[in-house]
Amino acid sequence: MDLKSKIRIIEGFPKDGISFKDITTLTSDGEAYKYTIDAFASHLKDKNVDVVVGPEARGFMFAAPLAYALGAAFVPVRKKGKLPCETVREEYSLEYGTDVLEIHKDAIKKGQKVAIVDDLLATGGTIEAVARLVEKLGGEVASIDFVIELTDLKGADKLKEYDVMSLVKYNI
């Protein structure tokens, strides 16, 4: 299936100069959404994944159904202050400052194989922080999977030590 044809491009959103890749048109097409989850599952089938981690918020849209398809656990990674129990946190850099991601301290057990799944790989900073959270808890990052990769931003370079897979690639 041509997933690129299922992704709506919105020029100038959220500001001039940005070419926004809208995955809601993909998720609202049942066949394309199923194909996407199945493609991730196929890539991960021999990796013995115990846990699928999805960062807030669009990562949830792919990680949760993928965890179900694999018979694995789903664990959310959230922005600071959104999780109710004791957390581990990781600060990461943004274009203009920093932000913090958190995961429950008991969400991943030492030695568990973890797939990290998100909608988009741009500069790689957010996912690099998610991988560090998984490793702080003793998890082993088995794969990092994306629906979309913006190749010109070279986010995959930050993730060289991991198995990274993207279903659709764009040069911006």
Residues near 27 by Cβ (< 8 Å), separated by ≥ 6? 33, 61
Rounded alpha-carbon distances, angstroms, from residue 84 to 58, 68, 139:
20, 23, 21
Q: What is the pLDDT of residue 93?
A: 84
Q: Looking at the annotation, which residues are catalytic?
A: 58, 95
Residue ranges of the chain with per-residue pLDDT less than 50: none
Q: Tokens at residue 3, please?
A: 């997933």
Q: What is the pLDDT of residue 95?
A: 66
> Which residue type does 101 have?
L
Q: Which residue has the tokens 């946190």?
A: 89
User: Mind listing the pLDDT tens digit for each residue in 20-33?
Assistant: 999 999 999 999 99
Residues 147 and 26: beta-carbon distance below 8 Å: yes
Q: What is the pTM of this model?
A: 0.95
| Domains of the chain by start residue, with CATH | 46-170 (3.40.50.2020)
User: Mind listing the pLDDT tens digit for each residue in 84-97?
Assistant: 999 999 999 876 77
Residues 86 and 105: beta-carbon distance below 8 Å: yes
Q: Tokens at residue 147, please?
A: 């629906």
| 18: three-class secondary structure by DSSP | coil
Alpha-helical (H) ranges within 71-124 are none
Q: What is the pLDDT of residue 94?
A: 74
Phi and psi at residue 77, in whole multiples of 5°? Answer: -110, 130
